[in-house]
């Protein structure tokens, strides 16, 4: 009962605080609803980016994977810092100069309107079939496990998960539909730092307990129990071979942190370039620390449970939380978990609404539509997508390599084709609009055939790298026959102040150095 009370109290506090901060905001304008009025600060951007990225698919999926595979999966996190450096120094200054609201908007400036529409539709589909359902389902696993919803309601486990999925989906939709990006960002900031504190508490309390009051002694015991789990260099037949860092991984990370609408929309809503760069680089610092929250607990769980949960690795994190947290804190932590779910869910809904309203509806159905009408269309879009996500969520259960691995495999369908034409747009000036459209379709078809139809015996991240090279070759060939007639992208200069943050380059050097040091230290284990 106490757990439920603390859960409701914390969740209600976040909702009330978000409402209080928003009560005087103008949410019926395009910039106000979709970009938070271009007023976001570095701390808010970092908190929102972290929580949009780190949700229960990480807490459950990555801890489940590290329980089974150890620290080799750290590559997903620490290499993010490198991509955030590139985003801060190169991509975001260009986006802000152009005054972009969406990433597909850039593709029209560089290529043509059809390319913009194709990518917008790709993104909408990816939201429905990949990210939203997995976020909802992993959130439901956590909440169901902590509160035993099925037992309380006297229903089956599957029915309990369904009920939890619906409740989370409805609550997340309310934030996104009625509050826009600023509501998402404000609630994210509170929950983001709550997640950081609460997430750190789980391994620390566990290590203190294992080490009889000394966390370092606890860490030594965990290490001595299974030193192989601390190795960061994945073998060729592992879930994440080390070689993939130099093939598809780098393309994926660049896309995710520099071109992914859901993530980069926070930086597009910055009040100036200084705050955007602060937000991106602060996020880089947090991503270096995040493995303590989403990887170390899984390895600690192996110390506690051995291989008894190998066949159900997605239950590892909820079981560890219940084992190590004092009963009075379980409710607060469950509320933070709920916040992480809501954050990613409502962030994706807001991005989807932005893309559909500005990249599809305004251009094809309402060229003269007012800001108020665009906001209404955005809210309607969020509602429809939320319903679809709730219906699809239970279908992602029982992924053989865990939910996080499934999410990454599905992301490859859309991320790599879009990344290839985005990077070609920035760095290969002769690539034509026809070439971009052909590459999108070739890349998507190639990946689906090799990964899901013929199931080629090559790691899917290597397939990302092969797909990227194939797309570039296709673009070169098609551009030869259908040459480019649109060379430059016009850049405005008065949307926000474009003065660079003075610590951008020093912080970039520090983040890159730390990433290398992690691999040098743990790679020699």
Give the pLDDT confidence of 162-218 residue by residue, as tens digits: 888 888 888 777 765 665 555 666 666 777 677 778 888 899 999 999 999 999 999
Q: Which domain holds residue 107?
A: 1-21+37-395
Tell me, yes or no, whether 46 lies in a domain. Answer: yes
pLDDT recorded at residue 376: 82
Checking if the pLDDT of 240 tops 80, the result is yes
Token duo for residue 134: 């997995």
CB 363 within 8 A of CB 117: yes
Tell me, yes or no, whether 279 lies in a domain. Answer: yes
Please state, as a whole number, how many other Cβ atoms lie within 10 Å of the Cβ of residue 479.
Answer: 21
CA nearest neighbour of 247 among 462, 410, 80, 418: 462
pLDDT recorded at residue 21: 66
**Residue 507 binned pLDDT confidence (cut-offs 50, 70, 90):** very high
Handedness of CA 442, 476, 261, 27 (dihedral sign): negative
Q: Tell me the average pLDDT of the chain.
A: 83
pLDDT, one tens digit per residue, over 480-504 is 999 987 666 666 666 778 889 999 9
**Residue 367 binned pLDDT confidence (cut-offs 50, 70, 90):** confident
Please state, as a whole number, how many other Cβ atoms lie within 10 Å of the Cβ of residue 517.
Answer: 11
Handedness of CA 201, 315, 231, 84 (dihedral sign): negative
Query: Helix 42-53 and helix 273-289: axis angle, to 10°?
Result: 40
The DSSP code for 313 is G
Domain tally for the chain? 1
Return the CATH number at 185. Answer: 1.20.1730.10
Give the predicted TM-score (pTM) of the model. 0.83
Give, in order, the Cα–Cα distances in Å from 345 to each of 52, 154, 188, 348, 521: 8, 28, 11, 5, 36
The DSSP code for 177 is H
Tell me, yes or no, whether 447 lies in a domain. Answer: no
pLDDT recorded at residue 432: 93
- Whole-angstrom Cα distance, residue 66 to residue 326? 24
pLDDT recorded at residue 296: 95
Range with the largest mean pLDDT of 81-95, 252-266, 365-379: 81-95
Token duo for residue 215: 């966390």
CB 264 within 8 A of CB 106: no
- Whole-angstrom Cα distance, residue 87 to residue 285? 14
pLDDT, one tens digit per residue, over 3-59 is 677 777 777 777 677 667 665 555 455 555 555 556 778 888 887 788 777 777 788
pLDDT recorded at residue 188: 67
Range with the largest mean pLDDT of 281-285, 343-347, 449-453: 281-285
CB 218 within 8 A of CB 209: yes
Range with the largest mean pLDDT of 120-129, 177-186, 385-394, 497-506: 497-506
pLDDT, one tens digit per residue, over 140-152 is 887 887 777 888 7
Give, in order, the Cα–Cα distances in Å from 353 to each of 16, 95, 137, 269: 24, 19, 22, 15
Tell me, yes or no, whether 515 lies in a domain. Answer: no
């Amino acid at each position: 009962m106490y757990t439920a009370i603390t859960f409701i109290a914390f969740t209600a506090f976040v909702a009330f605080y978000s409402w209080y901060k928003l009560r005087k905001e103008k949410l019926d304008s395009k910039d106000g609803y979709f970009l938070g009025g271009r007023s976001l600060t570095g701390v808010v951007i970092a908190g929102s980016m972290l929580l949009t990225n780190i949700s229960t698919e990480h807490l459950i999926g990555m801890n489940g994977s590290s329980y089974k595979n150890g620290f080799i999966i750290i590559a997903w996190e620490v290499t993010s810092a490198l991509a955030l450096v590139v985003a801060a120094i190169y991509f975001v200054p260009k986006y802000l100069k152009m005054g972009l609201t969406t990433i597909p908007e850039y593709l029209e400036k560089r290529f043509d309107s059809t390319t913009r529409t194709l990518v917008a539709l790709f993104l909408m589909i990816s939201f429905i079939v990949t990210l939203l359902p997995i976020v909802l389902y992993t959130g439901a696993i956590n909440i169901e496990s902590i509160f035993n919803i099925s037992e309380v309601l006297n229903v089956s486990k599957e029915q309990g998960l369904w009920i939890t999925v619906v409740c989370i989906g409805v609550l997340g939709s309310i934030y996104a539909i009625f509050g826009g990006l600023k509501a998402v960002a404000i609630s994210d900031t509170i929950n983001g730092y709550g997640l950081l504190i609460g997430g750190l508490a789980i391994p620390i309390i566990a290590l203190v307990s294992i080490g009889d009051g000394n966390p370092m002694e606890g860490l030594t015991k965990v290490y001595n129990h299974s030193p192989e789990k601390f190795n960061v260099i994945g073998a060729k037949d592992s879930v994440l071979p080390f070689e993939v860092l130099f093939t598809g991984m780098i393309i994926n990370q660049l896309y995710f942190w520099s071109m992914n609408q859901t993530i980069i929309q926070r930086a597009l809503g910055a009040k100036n370039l200084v705050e955007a760069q602060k937000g991106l680089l602060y996020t880089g610092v947090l991503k270096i620390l995040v493995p303590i929250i989403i990887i170390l607990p899984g390895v600690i769980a192996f110390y506690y449970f051995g291989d008894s949960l190998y066949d159900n690795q997605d239950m590892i994190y909820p079981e560890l939380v219940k084992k190590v947290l004092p009963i009075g804190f379980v409710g607060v932590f469950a509320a933070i978990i709920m916040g992480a779910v809501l954050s990613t869910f409502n962030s994706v809904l807001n991005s989807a609404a932005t893309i559909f309203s500005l990249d599809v509806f305004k251009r094809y159905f309402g060229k003269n539509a007012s800001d108020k009408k665009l906001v209404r269309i955005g809210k309607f879009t969020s509602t429809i997508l939320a319903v679809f996500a709730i219906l699809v969520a239970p279908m992602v259960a029982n992924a053989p390599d865990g939910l996080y691995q499934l999410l990454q495999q599905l992301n490859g369908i859309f991320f790599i084709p879009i990344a290839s034409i985005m990077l070609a747009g920035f760095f290969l000036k002769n690539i034509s609009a026809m070439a971009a459209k052909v590459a999108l379709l070739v890349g998507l078809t190639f990946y689906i055939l090799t990964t899901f139809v013929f199931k080629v015996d090559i790691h899917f991240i290597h397939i990302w790298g092969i797909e990227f090279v194939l797309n570039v070759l296709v673009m070169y060939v098609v551009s030869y026959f259908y040459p480019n007639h649109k060379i430059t992208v016009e850049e405005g200069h008065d949307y926000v102040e474009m003065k660079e943050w003075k610590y951008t380059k020093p912080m970039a050097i520090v983040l890159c150095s730390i990433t290398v040091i992690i691999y040098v230290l743990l790679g020699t284990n």
